[in-house]
Amino acid sequence: MFHAAGWTFPWANVFSFASQITLRKVNNTQIWNHLLHSDVTHYCAAPTVQIGIINDPHAKKLPQPITTIVGK
């Protein structure tokens, strides 16, 4: 939440009545599970997290478009 809170992404979700998934720690297996099975439409991640997600062995083309916010 440290980086995400700075971008106000979690608060925008609350105010728009959107559902959100917040993980305690970066776990690429959990992230891919949610991207593939939880109807995720948007996600927000630091560049280092993004690199881990796309290089994970579970990485594959998603069945739906997902909007990504990557901070710097």
pLDDT band at 5 (very low <50, low <70, confident <90, very high): low
Domain limits for position 55: 2-70
- Interval 9-63: pLDDT, tens: 777 777 888 878 888 899 999 999 999 999 998 888 888 889 999 999 989 999 9
Q: Tell me, what's the pLDDT at 70?
A: 81
Q: How many domains does the chain have?
A: 1
Strands 67-70 and 42-45: parallel
Q: Are 69 and 7 in contact (CB under 8 A)?
A: yes
pTM higher than 0.85: no
